[in-house]
Amino acid sequence: MAGATQATNLASPIVAADRALAVAQADAVKAYHDLAPYRIRLALEPDGWHIDYDLRDPRWKGGGPHYVIDAATGVIVSKRYEQ
């Protein structure tokens, strides 16, 4: 079908959760070095894998990195750092 776009099938993403997490983790370590203070949340949304690093202790200031990883290709679609 000419001109049709292919949507990511959320039931069976090409990129598994552990691979998406590895992509985010590799980038996060470069920016933050120590990720021990963060709790990781990972969710598959319509626009890809959302990976968020939230501080474990709510009394701490700042925050961690936040990513959207394409579920079909495994590339970082967007990232945001809170420091």
CA distance 54 to 40: 6
Residue 2 has pLDDT above 60, yes or no: no
Please determine, for residue 7, whether its predicted confidence score (pLDDT) is greater than 60. no
Position 78 pLDDT exceeds 60:
yes
**Residue 55 counted as domain residue:** yes
Domain residues for 59? 36-83
Asked if residue 58 belongs to a domain, the reply is yes
How many domains are contained in the chain? 1
Q: What is the DSSP letter of 58?
A: T
pLDDT in tens, 32-76: 999 999 999 999 999 999 999 999 998 888 889 999 999 999 999
Tell me what the mean pLDDT of segment 3-7 comes to.
44
Q: Is residue 51 part of a domain?
A: yes
Asked if residue 83 is part of any domain, the answer here is yes
